[in-house]
Structure 1
Amino acid sequence: MTAIVDPDRLLAALEQASGTADADAVEIALLGKAGEYTRFAGGRVHQPQDVTETQFTVRALVDGHAARAATGVLGGLETAVARAAELARSVARSAGRPGAASIAEPAEAPKLDLWHEDTVAFDAGARAGLAAFTMGEAERAGGHAAGMFGRAVTQLAVVNSAGVAHHTLATEAIGSLTATVDEGTSHWIDLHRSAAALAAEESVRRTVREAVAGRGRGPLPDGHHTVVLGPQAAGELLGFLEAFGFSGELAAAGVGLVANRAGEKVASALVTVADDATAPYGLPIGFDLEGTPKSRVPLLSAGVVGAAVTDLASARALGTAPTGHAHVAREEPPSPVAANIVLSPGEHTEEELIAGVERGVYVQRFWYTRLVDRVAGTITGVSRDGCFLIENGRLAAPVAGARFTHSVLDLLATVDGVGRTVRSQPVMNVWNGAVSAPALRGHGFRFGAAS
């Protein structure tokens, strides 16, 4: 595993290209990722895949108006700079008055330990061996396994005409698995900068055991239930927090929690969630594609509504300092994005959380989740895979997936137990994005058709 573009050559090329722009200011960022993935199913490794992605984004400013261009290759950078500058001049002429766009000023980014040699060692041979172990565990249980193990290197660099020059390299390891034994299924996913942190063999054994226990699933009765959400289910719900008003754009528009309920307690005192670039979980990285150092942004602090994540534009609209969350997704306009959401762990094992429930439901994960009501924090979706009734503090009969429509905020207000083991999962369409959570216990979660 090496850098996608040689760092010494890269920074020099970015600085040279930024100096060629016929514009008041220019910012250039490289977003690069080179991944190697070993997929397996049907008793064999299949579709091994190496993927390298590079995107150079250019933002040029003329009279306070900004325009963007992009290229996938270093050799196309000067053309992209010229195109961005031309577009910015055109926007400025059309506007007829100065704009307010800006670039970041030089500032030191946090120094993070993002390179792990155990991930470097997680090569094709190691991944194939782990896949063989996984399929063997499932076969010995009378079932089969399908999934993927992978490693990647992420490279982010930002240079601008104000003197910002940041560069970082980060490793990434990921594992995912669906084990099936008869009609019983169980799913696991985790990612980390360190391959060892996945605890892959232990996770595989647990997932297969849960698939065996999931045979003979029955329907889950409609109604309001005490629930213990596994880390995957908890993380899926937390991924919606930004949509409830923790985005700088929403806050500046007067929409959602930060704009209307900042400082108000909306969740249990056990619930502390932050977008934290310095956390030992998920996919931390020290600065954003505008070159702004990332800061820890408290979303919920002991249940109290905190702040929004911002880029330069949304911070200016709010009158605050930018938090380093500029982001450009495929086929979407630039916007601030929470990219490393973390629910602080508690003191309990999952078994201890379950032991505190007389009657309830254990939910392994949710899928097909969608936003229903931004203000109320309501989403809809389906539970899936290793889900069980809880009776007298123990897992009992397995249950099939069930539809739910419920307010995430309402559930977080009832939390009376948080687990201590954190797992992470990627966030769809967010570059280098992850959400990390332990298990949690809450009450009154409604399964069944929406009322």
Structure 2
Amino acid sequence: MRSATLRFADSALTSHVEHDVVEYAERSAGSERTRYRVVGSQECLKEAGQLAEECADVVAAASRIGTRERMGLLRELASLGPGIYGRVEDVYGATATVDDRERTGMGTMARRNVIVTTVRDGVRRTRAVSGSPDELDVRGLALAGKPLPQHEGPLPTQVVLEPLALAELLAEYASVGLAVQDPHTAREFHRRCMGQQVAAAGVDITDTPAALGGWTLDIEGTPAAPLSLLRDGRITGYATDHRGAAALGQISNGRAARSVDGLRAYPAALTLECPPTTAPIGPYLRIERVQYISVVSAETGTVTGSTRDYCSVVENGAPRANVGTVRFTISVPDLLRRITGGLGPARTVPVTWGGCVVRCPAVHCADLRLVP
């Protein structure tokens, strides 16, 4: 895998770093043990031989094309004016599965994340988009927020979560609530979760790596076909690796984790769909971004975190007051059950960990109380 990150500040280039990473999994015949290694590219070429060399050629060729595109994108971002900060992240990779040193399957991935923060009059506002490097449109990412009076009193319980905020919460929940992490408790996990109503009727969630530029083979070489996780609000599936699936008498669905501590498997290309709705007329809390998300309880899907950047109280379609950082603890299933519908078109946005992306609209949640 080759990753490249271009950072810019005030529309000027500040750094451009590229590096190679190789992830290597090996399973002996008749053994349930999987060994993961992350090594430098040169060391890997010595150990993995011709296969790794072929993969490196694929990745390097794609990355050379991507460098020119990144520079062109920087010029486009520079035209947006001063006060623009952010980064462009490109990831290209190839995964192969091998039996007796013969290649039996290969999958690739190519994804670009663009994150733009606009700072005007001391107000920070961030937008992001993720997708195919040759298809992204960054126009509209630079949105300025205006200074507002500070909100006083209790927060509205009508809440609109923009895609960047919903994506972080959903990815954290899916990694523990929609994935088998412990083969020894896999059957109990299946009994407790399968068919459980964890979202409002009409909410569907699928994991579709190929559609969102993700890995079409996981680190164990298993194909990652589209996976239905929620249908009409009920759990219909979950991510597994080889060991977790074997404990259930199933075949892995190709979600083995890639170098994420504490996770054996997780869905990394989530799409949330729900019926459309209209924004509430009365005051509501609009959360555009969250940070520091951490799982409190895997069994209940409870996470803790805080709001970030431009969080505001909106009334009659216009922001009326600024809301400072709000620290909260919330059950993500409870949040999902309160969704009344989506607002506007779906957007594909990056998540800050694990190479995850989420495609979703902004959603309205009724009677959602953020608990400190």
TM-score by length of 1: 0.71
Q: Which residue of 1 aligns with 2:58?
A: none
CA distance in 1, matches of 2:164, 2:346: 9
Q: Which runs of 4+ in 1 moved over 6 A?
A: none
SS across alignment from 2:2: strand
Q: 1:200 aligned to 2:165?
A: no
Partner amino acid for 1:165? Answer: T
Gaps in structure 2 of 5+ consecutive residues: 50-60
Q: Which residue of 2 aligns with 1:229?
A: 161
Q: Which residue of 2 aligns with 1:173?
A: 112
| 2:225 aligned residue (274, 291, 295) | 295
Residues 244 and 257 in structure 1, CA contact (< 8 A), matched pair in contact too:
no
Q: 1:363 aligned to 2:268?
A: no
Deviations 1:149-198 (A, max 9, x none): 3434222222223965222343322211111112322111111124433x
Q: Which residue of 1 aligns with 2:347?
A: 423
Q: Which residue of 1 aligns with 2:369?
A: 446
| 1:398 aligned residue (322, 326, 333) | 322
When residues 344 and 40 of structure 1 are mapped into structure 2, their CA distance, relative to the original with a 3 A threshold, is: same
> Shift of the alpha carbon at 1:260?
0.7
Q: Which residue of 1 aligns with 2:52?
A: none
Q: Which residue of 1 aligns with 2:304?
A: 380
Residues 270 and 358 in structure 2, CA contact (< 8 A), matched pair in contact too:
yes
Q: 1:46 aligned to 2:14?
A: yes
Partner amino acid for 2:122? Answer: E
CA distance in 1, matches of 2:250, 2:29: 23
CA distance in 2, matches of 1:192, 1:342: 13
Q: 1:239 aligned to 2:163?
A: no
Identity of aligned residues (%): 22
> Shift of the alpha carbon at 1:146?
1.2
SS across alignment from 2:325: coil
| Residue correspondences, number | 359
SS across alignment from 1:202: coil
CA distance in 2, matches of 1:190, 1:297: 23
When residues 60 and 250 of structure 1 are mapped into structure 2, their CA distance, relative to the original with a 3 A threshold, is: closer
When residues 232 and 309 of structure 1 are mapped into structure 2, their CA distance, relative to the original with a 3 A threshold, is: same
Gaps in structure 1 of 5+ consecutive residues: 1-31, 82-114
**1:50-449 map, 5 Å:** 51-61=18-28, 64=31, 66=33, 68=35, 70=37, 71-73=39-41, 76-77=44-45, 79=47, 120=66, 123-134=69-80, 136=81, 139=82, 144-161=83-100, 165-197=104-136, 199-204=137-142, 207-208=143-144, 211=145, 213=146, 215-219=147-151, 221-223=153-155, 225-250=157-182, 253=185, 258-279=190-211, 281=212, 283-329=213-259, 332=261, 335-344=264-273, 346-347=275-276, 353-354=278-279, 356-430=280-354, 432-447=355-370, 449=372
Partner amino acid for 2:286? Answer: Y
When residues 254 and 174 of structure 1 are mapped into structure 2, their CA distance, relative to the original with a 3 A threshold, is: closer
When residues 147 and 163 of structure 1 are mapped into structure 2, their CA distance, relative to the original with a 3 A threshold, is: same
Partner amino acid for 2:73? Answer: R
Residues 252 and 318 in structure 1, CA contact (< 8 A), matched pair in contact too:
no
The structure in which a higher percent of residues are helix is: 1
Partner amino acid for 1:147? Answer: G
Structure exhibiting the larger radius of gyration computed from Cα positions: 1
Deviations 1:250-279 (A, max 9, x none): 586159874314213221113111222243
CA distance in 1, matches of 2:227, 2:329: 28
